[in-house]
């Protein structure tokens, strides 16, 4: 809880459950940014003020490197996870070879691949949302030419499903394929494992774990895999041109320091288990099927993606928003048209079920009381109408 007695600095009636979209700013990040606001200087300038700005950037680089188990010279600051993913793919797409990525990747990976005109392959997901490593192994063994890059999310932003990174890394090593891991939803919540410490490239995003929006990083252990997307000055060792966003980077570094070696994220798992238990129990009592994505495999402890049979995510989100509840759907909305989640479709969900999916994601300010209140509202605004429609259809059929 924040000093005002409510979550994330928003109004008391609001319940914020959309951390996978963006997390409330951590107090440490806010303090670092407030201090930086009073300072002046371009980090590329040689004078005292410039050197002070450079010190801010390099201090943040050290803390981000510790979070990612990387060397400081491997950390490239970007404007966020999307730019980091674009940078990670840039050289491989120009190579002329084939890039492989899971079918559940973020749009900042799949969108780049689709728009590039380059050769790429989408790796199928299991019904639980994981890459099938046996199938990946078979594909690699049969490929006439191995892919020039393998890109895999550490944790899915919609379902929270954790990918089997250790066996994926082992396969990438066996077939000499560079590995890029999009860890935007992972790092800052879970400690970096060996796969992240050894992957050639790793994406981070500050605002997913309490840093500011507008700051991210790409860890690049092999500079030959990069082709700069932004060209101009020699910033970031000529790997990303443009004056560094000192204010956001300072907040990024402070947030990274706060979450490195912290186990506070673990407290969310029992909250999620209780939440899903309550949702299932209510749906069962109402005679409505409830489906939870990835419930049988390891997931981020803060994430639950679920759908009521016959539910409509757009209607549910609108009703909950009127009561001050902020969460997301498993669908993409473009020009008012609701499209089913590509992630859930890749997991074998029907288009109707995917259109009904809601994504609830918790974080550092989430309380048990707020989740209990959410369940009450969900029962009244979402489950109730679906159950009544179902009852009316059953009655009409008889």
| Whether residue 71 is found in the same domain as residue 13 | no
Residues 85 and 175 in one domain: yes
What's the CATH number where 182 sits?
3.40.640.10
Is 82 within a domain?
yes
Domain-located, residue 2: no
Are residues 189 and 290 both part of a single domain? no
Mean pLDDT in each 10-residue stretch from start to end of the chain (398 residues)? 41 83 97 95 94 96 98 97 95 87 95 91 96 95 94 97 97 97 97 95 98 98 87 88 95 97 90 98 96 96 96 95 93 63 96 95 95 97 90 57
Active site annotation includes 132: no
**What residue ranges in the chain does DSSP mark as E strands?**
15-16, 75-78, 99-102, 120-123, 149-153, 179-182, 201-205, 216-220, 290-292, 303-308, 325-326, 328-329, 332-334, 337-339, 357-361
Choose the final residue of a domain: 259, 282, 299. Answer: 259
In a domain, 129, yes or no: yes
- Residue 204: closest CA among 131, 153, 158: 153
Q: What per-residue confidence (pLDDT) applies to 234?
A: 87
308: in domain: yes
Single residue among 217, 237, 259 that ends a domain in this structure: 259
**pTM of the predicted model as reported, rounded to 2 decimal places:** 0.92
State whether 308 and 242 are in the same domain: no
Closest by alpha carbon to 394, among 288, 322, 251? Answer: 288
pLDDT at 395: 53
Question: Among 209, 225, 259, where does a domain finish?
Answer: 259
- Residue 2 has a pLDDT of 38
| Within-domain flag for 216 | yes
Domain assignment present for residue 1? The answer is no
Question: What pLDDT, on a 0 to 100 scale, did the predictor assign at position 337?
Answer: 59
Question: Does 193 lie in the same domain as 53?
Answer: yes
The pLDDT score that the predictor gives to residue 131 is: 96
Beta bridge partners of 204: 217
User: Containing domain of residue 343, as a range?
Assistant: 7-22+264-397
240 and 268 in one domain? no
Task: Assess whether 117 and 253 both reside in one domain.
Answer: yes
Query: How many domains does the chain fold into?
Result: 2
Could you tell me the CA-to-CA distances from 3 to 7, 24, 95, 339 in Å, in that order?
9, 13, 52, 39
For the chain, the straight-line distance linking the first and the last C-alpha, in angstroms and rounded, comes to 51
Single out the residue of 167, 164, 201 nearest to residue 184, CA to CA: 201
Catalytic residue among 132, 139, 305, 333: 333
Does residue 108 sit within a domain? yes
């Amino acid at each position: 809880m924040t000093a005002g007695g409510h979550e994330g600095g928003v109004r008391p009636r609001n319940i914020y459950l959309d951390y996978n979209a963006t997390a409330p700013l951590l107090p440490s990040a806010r303090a670092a940014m407030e201090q930086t606001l009073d300072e002046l200087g371009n980090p590329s300038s040689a004078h005292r003020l410039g050197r002070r700005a450079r010190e801010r950037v390099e201090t943040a680089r050290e803390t981000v490197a510790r979070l990612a188990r990387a060397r400081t010279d491997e950390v490239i600051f970007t404007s966020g996870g999307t730019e980091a993913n674009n940078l990670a793919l840039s050289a491989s797409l120009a190579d002329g070879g084939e890039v492989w990525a899971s079918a559940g990747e973020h749009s900042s990976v799949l969108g780049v691949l689709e728009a590039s005109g380059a050769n790429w392959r989408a790796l199928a997901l299991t019904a639980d949302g994981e890459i099938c490593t046996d199938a990946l192994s078979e594909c690699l063994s049969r490929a006439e030419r191995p892919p020039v890059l393998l890109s895999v999310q550490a944790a899915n932003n919609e379902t929270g499903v954790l990918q089997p990174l250790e066996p994926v890394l082992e396969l990438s090593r066996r077939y000499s394929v560079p590995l890029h891991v999009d860890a935007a939803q992972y790092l800052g919540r879970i400690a970096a494992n060996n796969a992240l410490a050894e992957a050639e490239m790793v994406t981070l995003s500050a605002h997913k774990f309490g840093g500011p929006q507008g700051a991210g990083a790409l860890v690049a252990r092999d500079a030959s895999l990069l082709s700069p997307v932004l060209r101009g000055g020699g910033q970031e060792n000529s790997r990303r041109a443009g004056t560094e966003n000192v204010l956001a980077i300072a907040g990024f570094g402070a947030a990274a320091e706060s979450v490195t070696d912290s186990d506070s994220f673990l407290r969310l798992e029992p909250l999620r288990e209780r939440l899903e238990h309550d949702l299932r129990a209510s749906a069962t009592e109402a005679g409505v099927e409830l489906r939870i994505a990835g419930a049988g495999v390891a997931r981020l402890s803060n994430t639950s993606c679920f759908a009521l049979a016959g539910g409509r995510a757009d209607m549910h989100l609108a009703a909950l928003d009127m009561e001050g509840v902020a969460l997301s759907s498993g669908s993409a909305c473009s020009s008012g048209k609701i499209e089913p989640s590509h992630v859930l479709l890749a997991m074998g969900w029907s288009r109707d079920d995917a259109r009904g999916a809601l994504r609830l994601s918790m974080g550092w300010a989430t309380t048990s009381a707020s989740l209990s209140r959410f369940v009450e509202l969900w029962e009244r605004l979402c489950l109730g109408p679906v159950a009544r429609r179902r009852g009316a259809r059953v009655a009409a059929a008889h």
